Amino acid sequence: MLKKNSFKKTEEKAAVNLPSSVKQEMSNQVRVTALPPISLKGDKKPQEKQQLSDLAPRKEDIKLLTTYNFISDNIPITIRIYKKKGEFVPIYEVSISSISKNTEIILEKIREELTTQVSLGMVDIMTTKDTGIIEQRFMEAITTLVNKHFPDADEKTTNFLKSYLVQRSLGLGSIEVLMDDIDLEEIAINNASDPVWVYHKKVGWLKTNIMLKSEDQIRHYATMIGRRVGRQLTILDPLMDAHLKGGDRVNATLEPISVGGNTITLRKFAAKPWTITDFIKDSTISTEAAALIWLGVQYELSTLISGGTATGKTSMLNVVANFFPPNQRVISIEDTREIQLPKFLHWVPMTTRLPNPEGRGEVSMLDLLVNSLRMRPDRIIVGEIRRKREAEVLFEAIHTGHSVYATVHANDASETITRLTNPPIDIPKTLIPAISMIVVQYRNRRTGVRKTFQIAEILPNSEPNVLIQLDIRSGALKKVANSKSLLSTIELFTGFTRNELFNSLKEKETILKWIVKNNINTVDGVGRIMAEYYTNSDNLMEYVRKNKPLGD
C-alpha cells in the first residue's frame, strides 16, 4: 500500500541527496568513515548497540498508529509508527521494504570491499580538481562490485543497490531516509547514545529506531553539511546555523557546549506550503474571516501577521500572499527561504546572506529592502520585522505606494503595535495607520492546535480595533466589532459602496467554500483560481454557481 504524496519530490531531494561537493568531502573519509548503522527489518546484530533490538517490540506490546511507504533515492522504505508498552513516546520505525537478509549480508561485504578499494591513497583529496575523481572511482567501484555479486539483477535492482551503497558509504546514511519523508518537519540528533528523534506533521515528536554510531559520526555529518554551505564547525566555533539550498535549515552544536554530546537539528523546508483551503478545512480560520483578509489583500492594504514563536505566522503569510493578483510584481525578502508563491506570478524571491568567516559578503534585510524599492515592486513580502531601520524602510515603502506584508513577533493586535513603537523597532506611533490590517496567529498551549486569533484594523489614532476574535473555549472565530476604518479605506481607494463590499465578501465566501469542496489545496491551484477571479470573474463564478470544478 502506497500512501499518496509520500514519494519524494526530486527538487526537494536535492538538498538531502548529497551533492558532489559533499560526497567529495565524504570520500575524504572513506577509509575511516564510521559507517552508519543500517536499520533493516529483523536486523539484530549484537554490535549495533540497542539499535533495533532494544526497540524491536513484541507484537502484543504495540499499538500501530500508522504505516506508509515512500521511495528514498531508489530505496523503497516502509515506515511504521506505533505506541509501545512502557514507552512514553511513540516509535517511528524505518525499514527497507524489499531487502532480504541475504542481500543485506552481501551488501555489507561489498561495503567492506569498497572501503578498502577506494582509499585516499589514490589521489590527493585536497586539490579540488581531483575530488571528482574520487567520487567517480567510487561509483565505478560500486558498479563493478554490484555487477560481480548480483550478475542477474535487473536495472532497477542494480540502481537500488548502488543507491543503497552510496547513501550508506558517502551520504548521511539513515538520516537521508528521514529527510525524504515529507511528513517529517524536524530531525533531531541529540547524541550518539539516544535514538534520533523526529517531529511528524500529524503525530508530533517520535523516537526513531535509528542511532548514530558515535559522537564522531555526528560531528562528521555536521561538518559535511556545513562545508557544503561554507560554514565551519570547530572547537572554537562550536555552534553552527546554516541554510541549505533547498530551504532546509541545519543547526549543529559540539560537546562540551552541548553537554550530552554533539547535536544536529534539521528543520525541513515544508514540501507543501499551507493554503487557505487547508486552513479552512482544519478550522484554522473561518471562511468569513478568510474573505475579509482576501478583500484587504485584493485592494492592496498592507497587512501584518503576528503571533508567538511557531504559531504559524510564516504559514499564514504564505496563505495571504496566495490572494495576490497575477499582474503585479512581488518581491519577497527573507532570512530563510520559506515563502512559496504560484509559479506563474511575477515574483522575485530574495534571501539575506550572513557574512563569511572573514566578515565579508553580508547581504542584510535592510540591503534587500532598499534594493527592492528600486525593482519597482507592487507588493513586498518581508519575512520578519526585527530592527528599527528595516521597519523605517518598510513604512517608507508603504508611504510610497507599495503594499507590504510582514510578520512581527507579538501575541495580539495591541501588543503588535506596542512592539513596533518601542525599542528595538521603535518607530513613531503616527506611522502605524499605514498598516491597515493585523492578523494574529495563535497556538493553544494545551492542545497544540494553531488558529487565527484576531483580525484587527488600525484606527487613525494608531489603536487597533479587533473585528474578529477567537473564542478559545469553543474554537470559533466571532465577529466582535464593526469596521470603522478598514472598509472605509477600501471605499476611498475604490469608490465602492459599503453594500458592494458586503456583496464582494459574500462572493468570496462562496468561492472559498467551493475551493474547499473541490479540495484545491496547492499554491498553484489556489493561485490559478485567484488569477481567474481577478481577470475573468464571470467565468469563474459560473463554475462556482454550478458547483463544478474548473476545467483545464
Ligand X SMILES: Nc1ncnc2c1ncn2[C@@H]1O[C@H](COP(=O)(O)OP(=O)(O)O)[C@@H](O)[C@H]1O
Residues that bind ligand X (CB under 6 A): 185, 270, 274, 279, 282, 284, 307, 309-315, 450
Side-chain half-sphere of 229: how many Cα atoms within 13 Å? 21
Which one, 12 or 384, has the nearer CB to Mg ion?
384
Cβ proximity to Mg ion, 223 vs 314, nearer residue: 314
- What amino acid is encoded at 224 in this protein? M
Least Cα distance to 408 among 437, 383, 374 occurs for: 383
CA-CA distance, 339 to 319, in Å (whole number)?
Answer: 9
Q: What 3-state DSSP class applies to 128?
A: helix
Considering the complex, what minimum distance in angstroms separates the CB of residue 186 from ligand X? 8
Least distance to Mg ion from the beta carbon of 406, Å?
11
Q: How far is the CB of 384 from Mg ion (least distance, A)?
A: 6
Return the number of the residue (130 or 282) whose C-beta is nearest ligand X: 282
- From the list ligand X, Mg ion, none, partner contacted by residue 185 (C-beta under 5 to 8 A by kind): ligand X
Whichever of 231 and 313 has its CB closer to Mg ion, that residue is 313
Q: What nine digits make up the cell of 41?
A: 527489518
Question: By C-beta, is 219 or 313 nearer to Mg ion?
Answer: 313
Cell triple for 50: 540497542
Q: Which residue has the cell 476604518?
A: 485
Count the neighbouring beta carbons within 10 Å of the beta carbon of residue 493. Answer: 11
Tell me which residues in 69-88 interact with Mg ion (CB under 5 A). none
* Closer residue to ligand X (CB): 58 or 445: 445
- Compute the least distance from the CB of residue 33 to ligand X, in Å: 33
Q: Does the protein bind Mg ion through residue 311 (CB under 5 A)?
A: no
Instruction: Report how far Cα 63 is from the mean position of its chain's Cα atoms.
Output: 29
Helix, strand, coil % in the chain, rounded to nearest 5: 40, 20, 40
* Residue 282 binds which entry of ligand X, Mg ion, none, CB below 5-8 Å type-dependent: ligand X
524 binds, among Mg ion, ligand X, none (CB under 5 to 8 A by kind): none
**Measured from the CB atom, is 105 or 310 closer to ligand X?**
310
Partner in contact with 128, chosen from Mg ion, ligand X, none, beta carbon below 5 to 8 Å by kind: none
Binding partner of 92, given ligand X, Mg ion, none, CB within 5-8 angstroms per partner class: none
Joined grid coordinates for residue 424: 528595538
Amino acid letter, 459: L
* Rounded least distance, CB 408 to Mg ion, Å: 11
450 contact, one of Mg ion, ligand X, none, CB 5-8 Å limit per kind: ligand X
Query: Does residue 318 belong to the site contacting Mg ion (CB under 5 A)?
Result: no
Q: Rounded distance, CA 166 to CA 157, Å?
A: 14
**Residue 32's binding partner out of ligand X, Mg ion, none, with CB under 5 to 8 Å set by partner kind:** none
Q: Who's near 445: CB < 8 A, 6+ residues apart? A: none
CA 491 to chain centre: 38
Residue 507, SS3 per DSSP: helix
Report how many residues bind Mg ion under the rule CB under 5 A.
Answer: 2
Alpha-carbon gap, residue 139 to 161, rounded angstroms = 12
Distance from C-alpha of 22 to C-alpha of 101, rounded to nearest angstrom: 30
CA 160 and chain centroid, separation: 28
User: Which of 441/489 has CB closer to Mg ion?
Assistant: 441
Residue 489 lies near Mg ion (rule: CB under 5 A): no
> How far apart are CB 312 and ligand X at their closest, in Å?
3
Cβ of residue 286: shortest distance to Mg ion, in angstroms? 23
Compute the least distance from the CB of residue 338 to ligand X, in Å.
Answer: 7
Residue nearest to ligand X (CB): 312
Strand runs labelled E in 316-389: 329-334, 346-351, 379-384
Please state whether the peptide bond connecting residue 57 to the residue before it is cis, i.e. omega within 30 degrees of 0: no
Strands 346-351 and 464-471: unpaired
Q: Where are the beta strands (DSSP E) in 137-258?
A: 184-189, 197-200, 204-208, 239-243, 249-253
Nearer to Mg ion, 25 or 334 (CB): 334
**Whole-number minimum distance, CB 478 to ligand X, in Å?**
18
- Min separation Cβ 449 and ligand X, Å: 7
Q: Which is nearer to ligand X, 76 or 246 (CB)?
A: 246
- Partner that binds at residue 312, options ligand X, Mg ion, none, CB closer than 5 to 8 Å by kind: ligand X
Q: How many whole angstroms separate alpha carbon 151 and alpha carbon 126?
A: 36
User: Among ligand X, Mg ion, none, what binds residue 370 when CB lies within 5 to 8 Å by partner kind?
Assistant: none
Q: Are 457 and 436 in contact (CB under 8 A)?
A: yes
Q: Is 314 in the site for Mg ion (CB under 5 A)?
A: yes
Binding site for Mg ion (CB under 5 A): 313-314
